[in-house]
């Protein structure tokens, strides 16, 4: 939205109904502009997954408040839940208050707070409270607190302890901390010192927090916090070292990679997908395995196999937890620590049920949804919305006598539609061998399925394909797909999708291309390369 | 003192009652007794699947003020069904034809334009560029400040924050979180205002109020500290956070007000709430509870601004007898005549499909009628404006032209009700006309938003960011 606001200003839009946003605290604008590829100095609210992981780390709780207390969903940008557009509105404020109360009450009752806030004096007192505030508060804020903050929290302690106990005061401070801006917003602001080129450098604590959330969706662990305190994280090599350590040792890092990959392809939508029970009566039975595969396969590729996007797109095996009833299997696949795998007739994640069912209607396949998803998120082909051509979208009428492909073929017969559908349709039609839940079919409405396509989009993966499996194999080998994946990883990592950081993305891609070829297609390496880069620690001055 | 009809109130919620003190109602009745005009209220309602234009349209022998809503095919029947709703609302509605939602995108992504008047840029993930009218009035113009809850956003079946299923947007077009659980809606609207009457409960409430205030003071102070460090684009973000904290603080403070009102119990929990996750069979009941809670909150002057995003009834055995796949087998199969196609001559259409869609439209309007009934029972119908619309006109083409537009209530006489306003279709009926030609007519709903804002005392030249100023500048003629 920031970029959008800038566009509106630059374009001279005058919107009478919008009150001008207050600018207090902005300070004078620098005469020199920061390099355009840098993200602006900003704050971003924790996404729901980050909030849950944070309170779990801080209070050793097993709770996931955002689901237990019905937090609103994340506002997505470019499909990703971690982004700088998240806001705190009235409903979220109340959910945060309820969650803070639930967590603090639990932590007081189970002794967690007593452990975190010991006091030699049985009755406790402000000095013990101050110690708790400065130590636990620093973990919550992911940096040492300034004296103003300590004083404000001591005031909170006094309110909680009044006519009550030391423990009540500590619990009250905990409630406050969990609703504080210092906790809820990851800051990328620097220490207020603007460099001559109008840039600011993130503080060591901001670097540590950004790195921790990038890799684990959680706040820094003790080792990373110590590195922050020493100032070591300004060194790219130290950031790389810490990122690798977390990827190797922290299970939350694996969960984070799974989340990011699922959001990249939009297959996390399978969690909230349903099908017409008359057409696909087996879907409800198979759905848990479809969802499980969408997580376990990504985890297995990323951390137990090659770790490459090529394997994600081109693997000829899947995990044992997948919906094997829907697939043709042919013996055991690679032996992985997490469990057995099976060789299948499906090539890669695009031919698994989560993708196929997510991009389908409740009662039938949808080649256009599938084609657009591949074109935009795997091939990074720019496609305009039909609305930008003033085209009214008219879905083809149901016709039980012809195949789905035949019905959707109408697009390429219209010269206006053909401009985009010449790109979209071959991608989508290749998947027609799979129905709306991803089960294989030879007939569609009683007619033989036609999944043969010619992809001709002037990319390295162009070719004549018998079906989506052949196409996926070509995509898996393609440098274009690897590059596209890297672009989406940048958007996910930077929390800047929907064109909010196109210059930053271009800068990242330049650095990415300079990395060893073997690392380019590696999921973890791509994220590490972002953490190492100057764009990770520098921002345009506010 | 006049008291709120407890039976009506509880019957509306359909749940058991528990007598609990409730403060704000006192103020309302005092206002009524004093002869002061009622404050103005606004409710936006979204209903899916567009409209069967052929059956929605004013008939040839009808006029602006002489019309029949009860004819057998009319989707608007619920507005004139005294046997069901206790009275006719024929004199409390303005039915408007020919309004366009200029989202510049597919009809499915256009709900976000209804109250923002903004283009939706970015396809599926796109959002409007400016705030919605409810937020503009309630928050930016602070008309919601004098109530405990500045505004509330309710929805059925989906709390996703996409433009396709959201009506309320804050500054900069950021979606406002929606409540899909009537229990959560109850908590959001009423829970913080409830104080038990016994001394122990009062003492507990006083302590909670004191502690709650200390937490909010701290949280606001912390946001302010951060706000002082950020640039202008981030200030907006933190100001929204501060605004939300202020709203929460008002609720906390309300616990100290005198109390003298009855409230129903918290609505029961539903086994499932979300679409595609087993929620569909409960959508009808959830819709009713949302409506009743919203009307009650408006009636008690707890809030003056609300939105409700309805959902469809796509499940086997739905009470309307509609196909399980409403979307494919009802909306997409609608076969329009020229009237439903913006005037373009396309043949006679298929009346059977009009009937099917009209059945769903009638269902949607039955919920609006229920809302009007409740508002009437609480004595606030004439001071409220309900604006009900859809993201499409013709659902088969996903057209954002000629969307159904119903205004209802009264707004203290600022909008003359009991009328049918008929703007022309895009092209003169039965002719082809070029969107760039002189015969083509656009009637953007932006103009309606300007008119409504004016009725609320906010004079504007335009509302909503459009590609061309002519689409957002101006008022709806004849309103």
Of A474-483, B104-113, B124-133, which one has max mean pLDDT? A474-483
Best A25, A83, A133, A187 member to test B by mutation, with max B CBs in 10 Å, is A25
> Is A23 in Cβ contact with B235 (below 8 Å)?
yes
Interface check B302 vs A, CB under 8 A: no
Q: Name the band, by pLDDT with cuts 50, 70 and 90, for residue A2.
A: very low
State the average pLDDT for chain B: 87
Which of A88, A187, A278 lies nearest to residue B244, judging by beta carbons? Answer: A88
How many inter-chain contacts (A to B, CB under 8 Å) are there? 243
Q: What is the 3-state secondary structure (H, E, C) of A46-78?
A: CCHHHHHHHHHHHHCCCCCHHHHCCCCCCCCEC
Categorize the per-residue pLDDT at B133 as very low, low, confident or very high, splitting at 50, 70 and 90: very high
Q: Which two tokens stand for residue A88?
A: 């705190």
- Beta-strand pair B152-155/B169-170: unpaired
Q: How far apart are CA A270 and CA B278, in angstroms?
A: 14
Report the alpha-carbon distance of residue A75 to residue B177 in Å, rounded.
Answer: 9
- The chain-wide mean pLDDT, for chain A, equals 89
Quick one: average pLDDT of B198-214? 85
**Domain residue extents for chain B:** 26-190+271-472, 196-258
Cα Rg of chain B, angstroms:
22
Residues 6+ apart with CB under 8 A from B186: B266, B267, B293
pLDDT digits (tens, 9 = 90+) for B185-198: 999 998 766 666 67
pLDDT band at B6 (very low <50, low <70, confident <90, very high): very low
Provide the pLDDT for residue B232: 86
| Record: contact A276-B324, CB cut-off 8 A | yes
Are B53 and B394 contacting, i.e. CB atoms less than 8 angstroms apart? yes
State the pairing for strand pair A185-188/A463-465: unpaired
| SS3 at position A199 | strand
Q: Say whether A392 and B188 touch across the interface (CB within 8 A).
A: no
pLDDT at B11: 39
Selecting from A155, A160, A398 the residue whose C-beta is nearest the C-beta of B328 gives A398
| Confidence bin at B30 (pLDDT 50/70/90) | very low
Residue A4 has pLDDT above 50, yes or no: no
* Contact status, residue B427 vs residue B403, Cβ threshold 8 Å: no
Token pair for B256: 């100290």
- For A386-402, write each residue's pLDDT tens digit: 655 655 555 666 678 89
Check if B11 contacts A (Cβ < 8 Å). no
Contact between B157 and B179 under an 8 Å Cβ cutoff? The reply is: no
Name every chain B residue with its beta carbon within 8 A of the beta carbon of A75. Answer: 161, 174-175
Give the best residue of B129, B159, B219, B229 to mutate against chain A (max A CB count within 10 A): B219
Residue B455 has pLDDT above 60, yes or no: yes
Q: Is the pLDDT of residue A224 over 80?
A: yes
Span A263-272, average pLDDT: 93
State pLDDT tens for residues B386-402.
999 999 999 988 888 99
Buried-state track B423-450, b at ≥16 Cβ within 10 A, e below 16: bebbbeeeeebeeeeeeebbbbbbbbbb
Cα nearest neighbour of B393 on chain A: A392
Residue given tokens 């409220």 in the structure block: B384
Interface contact B106, partner A, CB < 8 A: yes
Stretch B434-446: mean pLDDT: 86
Kindly determine whether residue B170 and residue A187, on different chains, have CB atoms separated by under 8 Å: no
Which of helix, strand or coil describes residue A440? strand
pLDDT of the residue at B28: 45
Mean pLDDT of all residues in A480-502: 91
What pLDDT, on a 0 to 100 scale, did the predictor assign at position B34?
Answer: 55
pLDDT value at B7 more than 50: no
Q: Which residue of A has its CA nearest to B149?
A: A90
Q: Do A25 and B230 touch (CB under 8 A)?
A: yes
- What pLDDT is stored for residue A46 in this prediction? 98
Instruction: Give the pLDDT confidence score for residue A23 in this predicted structure.
Output: 27
- Set of chain A residues whose Cβ sits within 8 Å of the Cβ of B243: 90
**pLDDT class of A9 with cuts at 50, 70, 90:** very low
Output the six-digit token pair for A149.
């903050």
Q: Which token pair is B416?
A: 């003359």
Residues 6+ apart with CB under 8 A from A424: A368, A371, A372, A375, A383, A411
Task: Please state which architecture CATH assigns to domain B26-190+271-472.
Answer: 3-Layer(aba) Sandwich (3.40)
Helices then strands, counting H and E runs in chain B, come out as 14, 11
pLDDT in tens, B58-82: 999 999 999 999 999 999 999 999 9
B86 vs B329: which has the higher pLDDT: B86
| Per-position DSSP letters for A381-405, written without gaps between them | -----GGGGTPPP-PPPP-TTS-HH
Cα–Cα distances in Å, from B4 out to A21, B261, B454? Answer: 41, 8, 31
Confidence check: pLDDT of B17 > 80: no
Is the CB of B241 less than 8 angstroms away from the CB of A93? yes
CB of B398 within 8 Å of a chain A CB? The answer is yes
Query: Which of chain B's residues have a Cβ under 8 Å away from the Cβ of A362?
Result: 314, 325, 327-328
CA dist., res. A296 & res. A267, Å (int): 13
Q: What angle do CA B130, B133, B138 make, to 5 degrees?
A: 110
- Quick check: B203 contacting A, CB < 8 Å? no
Nearest CA in chain A to B110: A387
**Distance between CA atoms of B75 and B395, rounded to whole angstroms?**
15
Q: Cβ–Cβ of A542/B238 closer than 8 Å?
A: no
Q: Does the global pTM surpass 0.90?
A: no
Is the Cβ–Cβ distance between B252 and B15 less than 8 Å? no
Q: Which of A87, A163, A394 sits opposite B170 (nearest CB)?
A: A87
Distance CA A90, CA B148 (A): 12
Mutate to test the interface with A, among B177, B276, B350 (most CBs of A within 10 A): B177
Least confident of A235-239, A351-355, B87-91, B317-321: B317-321
Are A97 and B248 an interchain contact pair (Cβ–Cβ within 8 Å)? yes
């Amino acid at each position: 939205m920031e970029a959008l606001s800038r566009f509106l200003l630059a374009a001279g839009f005058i919107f009478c109904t919008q009150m001008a946003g207050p600018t207090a605290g902005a300070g004078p604008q620098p005469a020199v502009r920061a390099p355009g590829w840098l993200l602006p100095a900003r704050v971003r609210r924790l996404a729901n997954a980050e909030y849950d992981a944070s309170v779990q780390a801080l209070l050793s709780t097993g709770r996931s408040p955002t689901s237990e207390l019905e937090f609103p969903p994340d506002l997505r940008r470019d499909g990703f839940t971690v982004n700088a557009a998240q806001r705190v509105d009235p409903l979220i404020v109340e959910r945060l208050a309820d969650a803070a109360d639930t967590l603090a009450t639990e932590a007081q009752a189970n002794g967690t707070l007593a452990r975190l806030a010991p006091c030699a004096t049985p009755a406790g007192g402000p000095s013990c409270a101050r110690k708790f505030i400065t130590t636990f508060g620093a973990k919550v804020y992911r940096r040492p607190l300034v004296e103003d903050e300590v004083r404000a929290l001591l005031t909170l302690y006094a309110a909680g302890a009044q006519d009550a106990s030391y423990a009540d005061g500590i619990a009250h401070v905990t409630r406050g901390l969990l609703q504080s801006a210092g906790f809820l917003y990851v800051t990328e602001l620097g220490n207020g010192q603007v460099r001559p080129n109008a840039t600011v450098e993130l503080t060591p604590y901001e670097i540590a927090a950004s790195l921790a959330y990038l890799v684990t969706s959680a706040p820094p662990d003790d080792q990373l916090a110590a590195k922050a305190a020493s100032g070591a994280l300004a060194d790219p090599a130290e950031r790389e070292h810490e990122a690798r350590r977390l990827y190797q040792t922290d299970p939350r890092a694996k969960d984070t990679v799974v989340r990011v990959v699922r959001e990249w392809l939009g297959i996390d939508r399978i969690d909230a997908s349903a099908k017409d029970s008359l057409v696909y009566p087996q879907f409800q039975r198979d759905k848990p395995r479809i969802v499980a595969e969408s997580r376990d396969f990504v985890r297995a590729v990323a951390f137990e196999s090659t770790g490459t996007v090529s394997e994600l797109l081109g693997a000829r095996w899947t995990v044992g937890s997948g919906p094997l009833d829907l697939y043709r299997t042919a013996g055991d696949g690679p032996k992985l620590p997490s469990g057995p795998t099976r060789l299948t007739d499906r090539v890669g994640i695009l031919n698994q049920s989560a993708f196929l069912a997510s991009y389908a209607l409740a009662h039938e396949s949808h080649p256009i949804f599938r084609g657009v998803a591949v074109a935009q998120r795997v091939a990074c082909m720019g496609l305009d919305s039909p609305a930008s051509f003033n085209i009214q979208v008219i879905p083809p009428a149901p016709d039980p006598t012809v195949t789905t492909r035949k019905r959707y073929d109408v697009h390429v017969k219209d010269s206006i539609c053909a401009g985009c559908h010449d790109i979209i349709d071959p991608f989508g039609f290749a998947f027609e061998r799979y129905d709306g839940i991803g089960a294989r079919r030879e007939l569609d409405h009683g007619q033989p399925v036609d999944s043969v396509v010619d992809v001709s989009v002037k990319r390295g993966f162009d070719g004549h394909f018998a079906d989506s499996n052949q196409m996926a194999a070509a995509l898996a080998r393609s440098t274009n797909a690897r590059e596209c994946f890297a672009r989406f990883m940048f958007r996910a990592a930077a929390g800047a999708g929907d064109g909010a950081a196109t210059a930053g993305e271009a800068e990242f891609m330049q650095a990415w291309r300079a990395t060893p070829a073997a690392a380019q297609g590696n999921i973890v390496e791509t994220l590490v390369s972002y953490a190492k880069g100057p764009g990770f620690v520098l921002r345009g001055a506010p | 003192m006049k008291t709120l009809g407890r039976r009506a109130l509880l019957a509306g919620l359909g749940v058991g009652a528990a007598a609990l003190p409730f403060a704000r109602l006192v103020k309302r009745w005092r206002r009524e007794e004093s002869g002061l005009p009622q404050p103005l209220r606004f409710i936006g309602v979204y209903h899916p699947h567009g409209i069967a234009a052929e059956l929605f349209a004013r008939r040839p022998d009808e006029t602006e003020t002489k019309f029949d809503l009860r004819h057998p095919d009319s989707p608007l029947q619920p507005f004139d069904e005294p046997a069901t709703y206790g009275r006719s609302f024929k004199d409390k509605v303005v039915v408007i034809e020919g309004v366009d939602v200029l989202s510049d995108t597919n009809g499915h992504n256009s709900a976000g334009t209804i109250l923002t008047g903004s283009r939706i840029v970015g396809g599926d993930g796109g959002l409007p560029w400016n705030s919605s009218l409810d937020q503009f009035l309630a928050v930016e113009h602070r008309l919601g400040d004098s109530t405990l809850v500045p505004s509330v956003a309710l929805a059925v079946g989906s709390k996703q924050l996409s433009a396709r299923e959201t009506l309320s947007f804050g500054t900069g077009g950021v979606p406002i979180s929606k409540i899909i659980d009537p229990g959560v809606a109850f908590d959001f609207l009423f829970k913080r205002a409830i104080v038990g009457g016994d001394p122990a409960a009062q003492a507990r409430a006083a302590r909670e109020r004191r502690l709650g205030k200390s937490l909010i003071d701290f949280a606001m102070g912390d946001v302010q500290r951060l706000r002082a460090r950020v640039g202008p684009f981030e200030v907006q973000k933190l100001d929204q956070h501060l605004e939300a904290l202020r709203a929460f603080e008002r609720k906390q403070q309300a616990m100290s007000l005198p109390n003298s009102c009855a409230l129903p119990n918290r609505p029961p929990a539903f086994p499932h709430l979300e679409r595609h996750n087993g929620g569909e069979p409960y959508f009808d009941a959830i819709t009713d509870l949302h409506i009743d809670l919203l009307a009650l909150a408006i009636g008690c002057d707890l809030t003056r601004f609300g939105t409700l995003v309805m959902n469809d009834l796509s499940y086997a055995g739905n009470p309307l007898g509609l196909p399980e796949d409403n979307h494919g087998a009802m909306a997409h199969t609608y076969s329009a005549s020229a009237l439903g196609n913006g005037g373009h001559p396309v043949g006679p259409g298929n009346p059977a499909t009009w009937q099917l869609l009209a059945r769903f439209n009638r269902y949607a309007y039955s919920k609006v009628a229920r809302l009007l009934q409740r508002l009437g029972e609480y004595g606030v119908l004439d001071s409220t404006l309900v604006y009900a619309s859809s993201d499409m006109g013709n659902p088969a083409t996903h057209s954002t032209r000629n969307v159904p537009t119903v205004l209802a209530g009264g707004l203290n006489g600022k909008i003359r009700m009991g009328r049918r306003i008929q703007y022309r279709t895009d092209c003169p009926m039965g002719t082809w006309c070029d969107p760039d030609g002189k015969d083509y007519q656009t009637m953007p709903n932006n103009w309606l938003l300007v008119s409504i804002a004016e009725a609320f005392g906010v004079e504007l030249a335009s509302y909503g960011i459009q590609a061309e100023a002519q689409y957002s500048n101006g008022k709806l003629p004849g309103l």
